[in-house]
Structure 1
Amino acid sequence: MTAEAHTNTDTEDIEEFRTSVRAILEKEIASRIDEWEAAGAFDAHELFPRLAEHGLLGLGYSPEDGGEGAPLEYQMVLAEELARCGAAGVSMAINVQMHMATPSLARFGTPELKEAYLRPALRGEQVAAIAVTEPGSGSDVAGLSTRARRDGNDWVITGQKIFITNGAQADWFCMLVRTSDEGGHRGMSQIIVPRDTPGFEVVRVLDKLGNRSSDTVELRLEDARVPVSNTIGTPGRGFQQQMQQFVIERLSACFSAAGSAAQALERTRDYLQTRTVFGAPLATRQYPVFRLTELSAQLDLLRALNEKMCRKLGAGEDITREATVGKLTAGRLLREVADAAVQYHGGLGYMEENWTSRFYRDSRLVSIGGGADEVMLQVLAKLDGYDL
């Protein structure tokens, strides 16, 4: 069943959608995860069109833009189910396509840009990437230095980007660059840079601790020339547009973390029933049981926050604070769940052949990517009135 059949948020409809999505993802992703992890990559141009056939890539986008127009709760379910597939790399790559590289284009892009880039991305015909982070700036987006100077009807871009997910396969990049001499967060613009732009190159594919089935790269631009018409929204307002796009990215991270943590807790609880220590199953020992129960309770709170964000964003309300709290909470919760999963599996948990090892490596990124924990705390401190 495609997402087109789902236009309300009734629990029965949502759970029917979950069942359908889980079956699709089992066939298209979960069954091939080990193969992709071993290879260190998957073919997004092969996978994405198959997901698009089921209406998944355009789930939250308007029908006018080629999407399904489904309520946010369905995107939450999809993110949770993707996170249960067994490796965060593929889930991350899909979330980049849906929630990181395309929201600004959908919200601020011209009809011509949407036709050329958004619609093909929602059909899975083009792979998209978001290019913000630089070697010298990291989470300090206001400190980026990649610059675009205007030459007639073109932008001429020079600079570097790093840690770019989907970068080895992307057909185009939603890139944040400086387009004026104003400092700080002023004078930036979001520009679509096609992969085949002369002067643009993928320098190297990075070797990561986790998320190994998704490609992450370093980029270099040297007088790369793209049309000014590739600017998303208003020139000079790129920082503000990117901050809005980050909110959606962090919301997606909260959804994914909930699905990943839930499955890890379920699998660890099952293992406690079968692992015998000193003559009795671990499930009869109070400490590990209480620890998993505590983590499960924290997961309930994250899920409640996720549902609140769905309601508020669906009503057109600002969720900057909730998404920031959620991103901070999700990263820390996943780290605790991963640690408990490895610990309670004992020596088996430390083995690469067991799911716990991959989960432990993959989960660490959530507290770094999309704004580190420290950045989330800084945002929240400013919202609370502190002058930092």
Structure 2
Amino acid sequence: MDFELRESNEQEEFRVWFRAWLEENIPKDMDIPPDGRILSDDAQAKLKGFRLKLGSKGWLAPSWPVALGGGGMDASLGEVIRDECSKLNLPTIGNNLRWVPAMMVWGTPAQKKEYIPPALRGETVTWQMFSETASGSDIASTATSAVRDGSDWLLSGRKAFITGRTVDPDYLCTLAVTDHDRPRRLNLGVFMIKASLPGISIVTQSLLTGSERHVYLDNVRIPTGCLIGDPYQGWEIVQTIIEGERGGQFFRGTEE
């Protein structure tokens, strides 16, 4: 019995065409280290320019709806794009967009319009900040706090093991405790924070396996419109993101 996976003629033809497109459009002197280290400023600038080219064609999220900035393509062709980019060690697909399915489910119409299309066009980069050094994979034990202050929130804490950290961020998708008196998992909120706000410090730590980024939040003031869902839906929002990561739903996209 033959279990070999074979590409369709459409996939084979698209692979040849896309490989040629990459050869013409990828910056020739862009140095991307293979070990997870942070890119130099020059490499980041070139990679951002290349992401804009991919995003203009919807190729950062090939199977997502065109109306959102995706490619509207068959999932199998999107897999060709990711495969060819992976062969060239291009950190361009997926890592900075894993929050998008949750925004589609839990975000307001205004939030979806503000955050999703620019991300899929390659214009913005978002880091996903759930983990902390003291809690590891137990995100319910997060210590980062969000305290109401009038119509705003004040966020304080430290995040590590960040998804999408290769390129400097425009936004930080951040999990925080919104009420320390509520039970675990029922006291979490998720916020989209502009990375340029006062009180945010990003530190690079060199490790044997590469580089890690730590983000420090010191009474960062954000408007309530940055909260995704309600103040206690953070656990459900994180589950939506993880379901997409582990189940592959991000790569296939969703239909509205």
How far off is 1:159 after superposition?
Answer: 0.6
2:217 corresponds to which of 203, 217, 221? 221
Please tell me the residue identity of whatever aligns with 1:142: A
For the pair 1:79 / 2:82, whether they are aligned, the reply is yes
CA distance 1:40–1:196, change in 2 (3 Å): closer
Please tell me the residue identity of whatever aligns with 2:33: E
2:149 corresponds to which of 133, 136, 151? 151
Number of the residue aligned with 1:13: 10
CA distance 1:40–1:153, change in 2 (3 Å): closer
Aligned residues: 241
Please tell me the residue identity of whatever aligns with 2:19: R
Number of the residue aligned with 2:125: 127
Number of the residue aligned with 1:173: 172
Tell whether the 8 Å contact from 2:61 to 2:93 is kept in structure 1 after alignment.
Answer: no
2: CA distance, partners of 1:225 / 1:315? 35
How far off is 1:61 after superposition?
Answer: 2.5
2: CA distance, partners of 1:238 / 1:134? 16
How far off is 1:231 after superposition?
Answer: 1.4
1:163 corresponds to which of 161, 164, 167? 161
How far off is 1:152 after superposition?
Answer: 2.1
Tell whether the 8 Å contact from 1:71 to 1:314 is kept in structure 2 after alignment.
Answer: no
How far off is 1:189 after superposition?
Answer: 1.5
Tell whether the 8 Å contact from 1:174 to 1:191 is kept in structure 2 after alignment.
Answer: yes
Q: Tell me, what secondary structure is at the counterpart of 1:239?
A: helix
How far off is 1:107 after superposition?
Answer: 2.9
Please tell me the residue identity of whatever aligns with 2:124: Q
- 1:303-382 superposed matches below 5 A: none
Number of the residue aligned with 1:342: none
CA distance 1:120–1:139, change in 2 (3 Å): same
How far off is 1:166 after superposition?
Answer: 2.5
CA distance 1:76–1:221, change in 2 (3 Å): same
Number of the residue aligned with 1:250: 246
Please tell me the residue identity of whatever aligns with 1:192: M
> RMSD of aligned C-alpha atoms?
3.1
Q: Tell me, what secondary structure is at the counterpart of 2:174?
A: strand
Number of the residue aligned with 2:3: none
Larger relative contact order, structure 1 or 2 (CA cutoff 8 Å, min sep 6): 2
Tell whether the 8 Å contact from 2:175 to 2:188 is kept in structure 1 after alignment.
Answer: yes
Please tell me the residue identity of whatever aligns with 1:16: E
2:21 corresponds to which of 21, 24, 28? 24
Number of the residue aligned with 1:241: 237
CA distance 1:151–1:40, change in 2 (3 Å): closer
Q: Tell me, what secondary structure is at the counterpart of 1:249?
A: helix
How far off is 1:147 after superposition?
Answer: 1.0
Gaps of 5+ in 1: 1-9, 256-309, 317-388
2: CA distance, partners of 1:223 / 1:160? 11
CA distance 1:174–1:111, change in 2 (3 Å): same
Gaps of 5+ in 2: 1-6
For the pair shown, the structure with the greater C-alpha radius of gyration is: 1
Number of the residue aligned with 2:138: 140
Please tell me the residue identity of whatever aligns with 1:18: R
Tell whether the 8 Å contact from 2:64 to 2:254 is kept in structure 1 after alignment.
Answer: no
TM-score normalised according to structure 2 size: 0.80
1: CA distance, partners of 2:187 / 2:22? 42
1: CA distance, partners of 2:207 / 2:27? 21
How far off is 1:217 after superposition?
Answer: 1.1
